[in-house]
Amino acid sequence: MQHMDTIIHARWVIPVEPSDVALDRHAVAIRDGAIVEILPSSAVAQKYRATETVDLPQHALIPGLVNAHTHAAMSLFRGLADDLPLMDWLNNHIWPAEGKWVGPEFVRDGTELAVAEMLKGGTTCFNDMYFFPDETARVAHAAGIRACVGLIMLDFPSAWAQSPEEYLHKGLALRDDLKHSGLVTTAFAPHAPYTVSDGPLEKIRMYSDELNIPVHMHVHETAHEVDEAMVRYGVRPLERLANLGLLGPRLMAVHMTQLLPGEIATLAKLNAHVVHCPESNLKLASGFCPVHELGRAGVNVALGTDGAASNNDLDMLDEMRAAALLAKGVAREATAVPAHAALAMATLNGARALGLEERIGSLRPGKRADLAAVDLSDISSQPVYDPISQVVYTAGRNQVTDVWVDGKRLLAERRLTTLDEEAIVRKAQAWRDKIKAV
């Protein structure tokens, strides 16, 4: 008999690797934060005993969801400036609000709000881009969630840094502080081609090559961005990034609603990653990412929510459903992005984009025990013929009951174990009152 820390029995275990497989009445054995074995529940008693045994008789157990693009602290701006096009939203509402309110306390409280929401929706890892990434890292560590914090870069000053040199200096210092963390990694996060000039981008490319860390950037988000780049630089943003040496396997290009066939082929050839944010793109009327064409070309497409100021939630289950349905509509093909592919976009593909596919993104012995349990007994998910389809097409985040990160149970029967939900709500309401009073 081998001793395990935790054994989780589920009606279905959906490992993602291999694809389109749901294991009936299986269990996951966990020790020291890692998955040791996935085996039939009937075989567990003969092989293992555990400190804790969790029975989920009507649940699908899936890899924890990976939110590959968000701005966590912007949850405090949720609903502040809705129903506006991107540049109006940014220039006239969000950037002025950030200039007035963003500081360490804002980022800390906003990130706590976001992390609580994400955990309750089954997200176990998020890729962030925002100011004061040191505060984001502290919140992630305290909550126990996995995170990749963006080393933000802009040409213009902010509350975090006054120049590109200071952004880079602070980012590299934070990267050094976090390099031994088991939960928090880093990525360079130049905001967008239209807010970061060639010099800083060349330095980011040099350090990305040297340190082997990803580059996380908004690219080809709107037609206006592309048109403006043609006027300013004479080339489309992707071509400019390619000329600077940034278009490659470490690039996570977010949004990508404006793509030509040749650009898709180049992305595939150079192994760049695309992060699709369907609901934010729809809300801001930014356009449609050609997900089906990218997938057919062999491009890794991950999934993100964007920030709650432009979505307005951080619900990855909802994002999966939107991604699958939108891909079918755009491609005019019902087989585009089937349910198992949408689930992979929200799990393994996100892990791959972050360079974490050997640690998370699927349920496989040796990987870290990042898992989410979805209760499919709800009337809206009945009857269950295919649990993968039900998770993607019918399940709501209210059906997520339990979440583990590194084997630690952060959500237990819908209750957060490391965060004070009531206190977080009170702080969010206090920020609303301050911001609204101006």
- Domains by residue range for the chain, with CATH: 2-63+367-406 (2.30.40.10), 65-353 (3.20.20.140)
Count CB neighbours of 423 within 10 A.
12
| The pLDDT of residue 196 | 98
161-214: per-residue pLDDT in tens?
999 999 999 999 999 999 999 999 999 999 999 999 999 999 999 999 999 999
Mutual angle of helices 104-120 and 133-143, in 10-degree steps? 40
Structural contact between residues 47 and 7, judged by C-beta atoms closer than 8 angstroms:
no
Closest CA to 41 of 29, 51, 58: 29
Question: Which residues carry a binding-site annotation for Zn(2+)?
Answer: 69, 71, 218, 306
Query: Quick one: residue 213, left, alpha or beta (phi over 0 = left, psi -120 to 50 = alpha)?
Result: beta
* CA dist 372 → 125, 173, 353, 383, 408 (Å): 11, 33, 20, 21, 12
Neighbours of 38 (CB within 10 A): 17
pLDDT tens, residue by residue, 383-399:
999 999 999 999 999 99
- Whether the CA torsion 361, 364, 369, 374 is positive or negative: it is positive
CA separation for the pair 187, 372 (Å, rounded): 25
Picking from 85, 15, 9, the residue whose alpha carbon sits closest to that of residue 54 is 9
Task: Take residue 323 and report the two structure tokens written for it.
Answer: 């991604």
Binding site, by residue number, is 69, 71, 98, 191, 218, 221, 306
Tell me whether residue 335 is exposed, middle or buried, using C-beta atoms within 10 angstroms of its C-beta: 0 to 12, 13 to 18, 19 or more: exposed
Residue 85: predicted pLDDT:
85
* Predicted pLDDT at 119: 99
Write out the binding residues for substrate: 98, 191, 221, 306
CA-to-CA distance for 251 and 240, rounded, in angstroms? 13
Q: Which residues pair with 411 in a beta bridge?
A: 403, 416
pTM: 0.97
What average pLDDT values come out for the chain (438 residues) when binned by 10 residues?
97 97 98 98 97 98 99 96 88 92 98 98 98 98 98 97 98 97 98 98 98 97 96 97 98 98 98 98 95 98 97 97 98 97 98 98 98 98 98 98 98 98 98 87
Q: What pLDDT score was predicted for residue 438? A: 61
- Report the 10 Å Cβ neighbour count for 347: 33
Residue type, 126: F
Helix, strand, or coil here: 239? helix
